Amino acid sequence: MIKIAITGPESTGKSTVAAYLAAQFGTVWVPEYARSYIGNLGREYTLQDIEAIARGQLELERELEPQANKVLFSDTDLLVIKIWSEHAFGHCPAWIEHELRQQDYNLCLLMGVDLPWEPDPQREHPHLRQFFYDWYKQELQTMKVPFVEVKGLQQERLEQARQHVSEFLQNYQAK
């Protein structure tokens, strides 16, 4: 099973790209668990909620992986949760950091911040997008995770993501 995570700051098209890639490659994608969790919360989130979201994201990926057709796309990963936790609460629970180091994605697509911001009640930091992008990139480099950057507007972004995945899969199969 080849696993590809779509990661990066808020409002960068992660969900759109994940759904598009899954359709293009005839497989399933793992939605962002935080969307439904926060949507049903009815109060401000806490660090305990972030931990519940991390557990839910991991469980959702485990549930959907058997349905994948050779490739599984994940709309988010534990790096998103780590950065969210560190920014909101000043630290990340050790078990999340441990699980993050155990992630076994073959490739991460780091979504650029060149799309216009789309307001959403769950989004918090329109003015910090570049700050977060740089943070994601640094974390991926530090963790030595294979990643590519995806930029551009709507269709260009989708096509660039598809091309990166196609090239990765060709190189992976050639090994």
Please name the residues in contact with 63: beta carbons below 8 A apart, sequence gap of 6 or more. none
pTM for the structure as a whole: 0.94
Question: What distance in Å separates the CA atoms of residue 126 and residue 46, rounded to the nearest whole number?
Answer: 21
For the purposes of burial, counting CB atoms within 10 Å of the CB of 121, is it exposed (0-12), middle (13-18) or buried (19 or more)?
Answer: exposed
Please name the residues in contact with 5: beta carbons below 8 A apart, sequence gap of 6 or more. 73, 74, 76, 77, 79, 103, 105, 107, 108, 109
- List the domains of the chain with CATH numbers: 2-174 (3.40.50.300)
- The whole-number pLDDT of residue 174 equals 78
Q: How far is CA 123 from the centre of its chain?
A: 15
Which pLDDT band, with edges at 50, 70 and 90, does 93 fall under?
Answer: very high
